[in-house]
Amino acid sequence: MSVAPRPSILSIDPYVGGESKIPGVNRIIKLSSNEGAFGPPPAAIEAITRAAREAHRYPDGNATALREALGARFGLDPARIVTGNGSDELISLLCLAYGGEGTEFIMSAYGFMMYDISGRAIGSRVLKVAEKPAPEGGGTVADIDAMIAAAGPRTRIVFLTNPNNPTGALLPNSEVARLRAGLRDDILLVLDSAYAEYVTEPSYDPGHGLVDAAGNTIMLRTFSKVFGLGGMRVGWGYAPADVIDVLNRVRGPFNVASASMAAAIGALAEPGWVEKSVAHNTEWRGRLATALRAAGGDVWPSHANFLLADFGTAGAARAVDAKLKTRGLIVRGMGGYGLPQALRFTVGNAEECQLLIDALGAPSDG
């Protein structure tokens, strides 16, 4: 007889990452995981190589150099920054620290599924609040009034991804602030700003201002997207001192590897990297949107490095997916998010985007 886990564990469907292989196909174009279009910055690659010589040494458990580099880059107090093995780890640690049996978390219906997985893993109930039509037309956006109304006496955390994954929707600062103001002071608001660098709206605040102004709020960021370090697993958070203290008490003492921290510091210092990446993303996201609409997709407005296209039925989405796979192109099915009729397309480099555009416009096989 095996040892029984906590019952809530068995209710979890394991997270399934974007596909990376197609049987019988040699060259794969992976556009399923929202990875950076240009790979790691040269300075990051050099830093990883140098760090390899010291791989026998434990990393700095306080991530001092990385926190200082982040503080200098974004104008933040390094003492109020915490680093993690990707922002996924920080999500799990927040759930562990503030949740548990008898507590509830709130997220939007199409929010990042790791909130649900991490919450249920420690026994919390996770409420998914229905979204509303996006005011800019097309797709949906988190319903702030409904999320506020869903908060009850057992609510401990509200998760909000902005821009959202997998939809790409962006809420204005005023709506995010209204959410914080509408929640009790003993509810932690987690602003997941993984795609912040791709936003071109001049007024956008990824969370710095609200963390400072409101308290009880943490902003999460990652090096896995625009900085091209998904494989190095580096995330970070900015929060009030008491929240940082809690996370430092529950995280592992060496939770970010030396090479990963060195790569992140190098990426931050790479001249023009973010500007080049954002300009490329904005241009090719628009081109891909045009091609997807021509292929029959209802493209949802996106402020990130991907597009969600609704093809009307699950069968139509599967047909598009199968057609692309015959050409070595892997995109992300959205069935796990309750959108089986939709596919998500990462903005790759120029060659990859053009191959995708050509494949979308090609006649179907058979």
Whole-number pLDDT of residue 364: 65
Rounded-to-integer distance, Cα 33 and Cα 35, Å: 5
Contact 342, 277 (CB under 8 A): no
If DSSP codes are grouped into helix, strand and coil, which group holds residue 263? Answer: helix
Note the pLDDT tens digit of each residue in 124-161.
999 999 999 998 778 999 999 999 999 999 999 999 99
Rounded-to-integer distance, Cα 64 and Cα 28, Å: 39
pLDDT 10s per residue in the chain (366 long)?
A: 677 666 776 666 665 665 666 666 667 899 999 999 999 999 999 999 999 999 999 999 999 999 999 999 999 999 999 999 999 999 999 999 999 999 999 999 999 999 999 999 999 999 999 999 998 778 999 999 999 999 999 999 999 999 999 999 999 999 999 999 999 999 999 999 999 999 999 999 999 999 999 889 999 999 999 999 999 999 999 999 999 999 999 999 999 999 999 999 999 999 999 999 999 999 999 999 999 999 999 999 999 999 999 999 999 999 999 999 999 999 999 999 999 999 999 999 999 999 999 999 977 654
Tokens of 333: 């099915």
Rounded-to-integer distance, Cα 126 and Cα 31, Å: 29
Contact 356, 330 (CB under 8 A): no
Contact 336, 330 (CB under 8 A): no
DSSP annotation of 78 reads G
Whole-number pLDDT of residue 21: 64
Contact 212, 241 (CB under 8 A): no
Rounded-to-integer distance, Cα 48 and Cα 44, Å: 6
Region of 102 on the Ramachandran plot (φ > 0 left; ψ -120 to 50 alpha; else beta): left
Topology agreement, domain 7-40+273-361 and domain 42-269: no
Rounded-to-integer distance, Cα 83 and Cα 346, Å: 26
First to last CA, the chain: 52
Rounded-to-integer distance, Cα 36 and Cα 19, Å: 16
Tokens of 347: 């903005």
Rounded-to-integer distance, Cα 143 and Cα 146, Å: 5
Pick the CATH number of 42-269 from 3.20.20.140, 2.40.50.140, 3.40.50.1820, 3.40.640.10: 3.40.640.10
Whole-number pLDDT of residue 318: 97
Q: Which of 56, 64, 39, 12 has its CA nearest to residue 273?
A: 39
Contact 189, 160 (CB under 8 A): yes
Determine phi and psi for 118, rounding to 5 degrees: -70, -35
Rounded-to-integer distance, Cα 98 and Cα 190, Å: 12
Tokens of 122: 């420690």
Whole-number pLDDT of residue 1: 61
Whole-number pLDDT of residue 138: 82
Domain boundaries, the chain: 7-40+273-361, 42-269
> pTM of the full predicted structure?
0.93
Neighbours of 236 (CB within 10 A): 24
| Cα distances (angstroms) measured from residue 118 to each of 115, 130, 218, 316, 338 | 5, 20, 17, 32, 18
Which fold would CATH assign to domain 7-40+273-361?
A: Aspartate Aminotransferase, domain 1 (3.90.1150)
86-98 vs 114-121: helix axis angle to the nearest 10?
40
